[in-house]
Amino acid sequence: MACVSEYGSEKKMAEGGNDAELLKEKANKYFKEKDYENAIKYYTEALEVNPSNAIYYSNRSLAYLRTECYGYALADATKALEIDKNYIKGYYRRATSNMALGKFKAALKDYETVVRVRPNDKDARMKYQECNKIVKQKAFERAIASDETKKSVVDSLDIENMTIEDDYVGPKLEDGKVTLTFMKEMMEWFKDQKKLHRKCAYQILVQVKDVLSKLPSLVEIQLKETEKITICGDTHGQYYDLLNIFKLNGLPSESNPYLFNGDFVDRGSFSLEVILTLFGFKLLYPNNFHLLRGNHETDNMNQMYGFEGEVKAKFTAQMFQLFSEVFQWLPLAQCINSKVLIMHGGLFSEDGVTLDDLRKIDRNRQPPDSGFVALSLCLSHRTVGRSVSEE
């Protein structure tokens, strides 16, 4: 009987393993089609059948990386290594996750492991060198930084004496102010892929920084039952998609408010056009046009995903530094009618977080490795709304 029982158990395990492999292959198919949500679904089902397979965790980690769910990607890569400490792809996935989360020292350690085992892997070596450069740069910045010596880019600007050349025929601020006419002209100018004059761009940035710096980390608004607000997720430099939103839903106005929930830049080729348009409407309708910070309004992401390079190519490194300062003043969350909470990164992994905790966040910084600022920005990229209370 014991032999029969053992045979039956082994047969069941083999059948389960086959089922898990079929689910993995199905997930791989969705992954190749870039349907990452379904890929994650079937990798998860495969893990439910066979929870001790490092490859399944590693594959799901990569799918999470593609959807920018870096916290989940990190957890899966770590689990893969717990199952098999020699699984080199696990180190690569974990390094990539930590890199995206700004945990550069942890990432560097894993990249070192990958390079040591695979010395001829050009991609791994490139990632290692990039990460090593960032670690050294951060160490240098910490060594020379102090609150007393840190100055804003604004202090070094002389906007009033910037000259707008005679041959520039594009939109200009009216007496230094953003108007609806200016916004319409600027959107058409951008639509034709023309560059705004640097003086106008600097004027918008300096003014919006002043507006954002006066806002709380948690913005709270009240809407009447007859009022509506349009909430938009990641625009990611897709300027023509932004124009289409306004075409379908109407331009922002006092009676047509909007909330854009982070990730305005990176990936797309027109991040500057998107963010300057959004900032312009924030200046035009400060109480009816709302912006929240996403994980792509951070230096690490802008360096890796293109916005820094775009600003430097179209304008200057100095302007990117000013964008970095402005991004740090973007609010982190918004609460509507004390019932609906909106933030870019999703809800916290720790219990007991209250609205008052969000109000107290000192947000004028790059996101740390942990804490509310990191959690609200980096764990996910989905637009999230949830009913809330003060408790």
Residue 6 domain-assigned (yes or no):
no
Across the range 301-327, mean pLDDT stands at 93
- The Cα 148–Cα 385 span in angstroms is 39
Q: Determine the pLDDT at residue 386.
A: 47
Query: Which residues are CB-neighbours of 7 under 8 A, at least 6 positions away?
Result: none
We report the CATH number of the domain holding residue 40 as 1.25.40.10
The pLDDT tens digits for 337-382 are 999 999 987 766 677 888 898 899 889 888 765 554 554 554 444 4
- The Cα 311–Cα 293 span in angstroms is 19
Same domain, 136 and 169: no
- Kindly report the length of the chain: 391
Q: Determine the pLDDT at residue 89.
A: 94
Same domain, 297 and 338: yes
In what order do the strands lie in the sheet containing 218-221? 218-221, 333-336, 340-343, 384-387
- Neighbour count for residue 141 (Cβ, 10 Å): 9
Same domain, 174 and 132: no
The pLDDT tens digits for 76-85 are 999 999 999 9
Whether 9 has a pLDDT exceeding 50, the answer reads no
Whether 248 has a pLDDT exceeding 90, the answer reads yes
The pLDDT tens digits for 18-44 are 889 999 999 999 999 999 999 999 999
Domain boundaries, position 140: 11-144
Across the range 328-340, mean pLDDT stands at 95
Q: What percent of the chain has pLDDT over 90?
A: 69
Residue 4 domain-assigned (yes or no):
no
Same domain, 93 and 235: no
Query: What region does 369 belong to: left with phi over 0, alpha with psi -120 to 50, or beta?
Result: alpha
Q: Determine the pLDDT at residue 140.
A: 76
Same domain, 210 and 115: no
Q: Determine the pLDDT at residue 70.
A: 86
| CA dihedral sign, ordered 340, 341, 344, 349 | negative
- The Cα 218–Cα 296 span in angstroms is 19
Output 366 or 162, whichever has higher pLDDT: 162
Same domain, 127 and 174: no
Q: Determine the pLDDT at residue 303.
A: 85
Across the range 274-289, mean pLDDT stands at 98
Is residue 51 a contact partner of residue 17, using CB atoms and an 8 Å limit?
Answer: no
| CA dihedral sign, ordered 240, 245, 247, 252 | negative
Residue 349 domain-assigned (yes or no):
yes
Same domain, 170 and 139: no
Q: Determine the pLDDT at residue 369.
A: 54
Q: Determine the pLDDT at residue 375.
A: 47
Across the range 135-164, mean pLDDT stands at 78
- The Cα 4–Cα 97 span in angstroms is 46
Whether 131 has a pLDDT exceeding 50, the answer reads yes
Across the range 134-151, mean pLDDT stands at 69
Residue 257 domain-assigned (yes or no):
yes
Same domain, 163 and 91: no
Report the number of distinct structural domains present in the chain. 2
We report the CATH number of the domain holding residue 325 as 3.60.21.10
Residue 35 domain-assigned (yes or no):
yes
Same domain, 356 and 208: yes
Residue 298 domain-assigned (yes or no):
yes
Q: How many CA atoms lie within 13 A of 310 on its CB side?
A: 21
Whether 168 has a pLDDT exceeding 80, the answer reads yes
Task: List residues bridging with 221 in a β-sheet.
Answer: 336
Whether 199 has a pLDDT exceeding 50, the answer reads yes
Active site residues: 296
Task: List residues bridging with 236 in a β-sheet.
Answer: none
- Which of 83, 86, 81, 37 is closest to 60 using CA atoms? 37
Phi then psi dihedrals of residue 323, to 5 deg: -55, -45
- The H or E element that residue 163 is part of is none
The pLDDT tens digits for 221-246 are 999 999 999 999 999 999 999 999 99
Q: Determine the pLDDT at residue 190.
A: 97
- Neighbour count for residue 318 (Cβ, 10 Å): 15
Whether 317 has a pLDDT exceeding 70, the answer reads yes
- The Cα 154–Cα 209 span in angstroms is 10
Across the range 312-321, mean pLDDT stands at 95
Residue 332 domain-assigned (yes or no):
yes
Same domain, 227 and 328: yes
Final residue of a structural domain among 101, 125, 144: 144
Q: Determine the pLDDT at residue 218.
A: 95
Lowest mean pLDDT among 37-41, 160-164, 303-307, 382-386: 382-386
Whether 308 has a pLDDT exceeding 90, the answer reads yes
Final residue of a structural domain among 118, 144, 170: 144
Residue in this structure with the two tokens 């720790």, named with its chain if needed: 350
Rounded to the nearest integer, the mean pLDDT of the chain is 87
Same domain, 181 and 258: yes
Same domain, 278 and 352: yes
Q: Determine the pLDDT at residue 10.
A: 46
Final residue of a structural domain among 144, 170, 198: 144
Phi then psi dihedrals of residue 330, to 5 deg: -65, 135
Cα 4 to Cα 11, 46, 214, 317: the distances in Å are 10, 27, 74, 73
Residue 317 domain-assigned (yes or no):
yes
∠ Cα 368 370 376 (to 5°): 85
Q: Determine the pLDDT at residue 300.
A: 83
Q: Determine the pLDDT at residue 146.
A: 52
Lowest mean pLDDT among 16-25, 86-95, 111-120, 273-282: 16-25
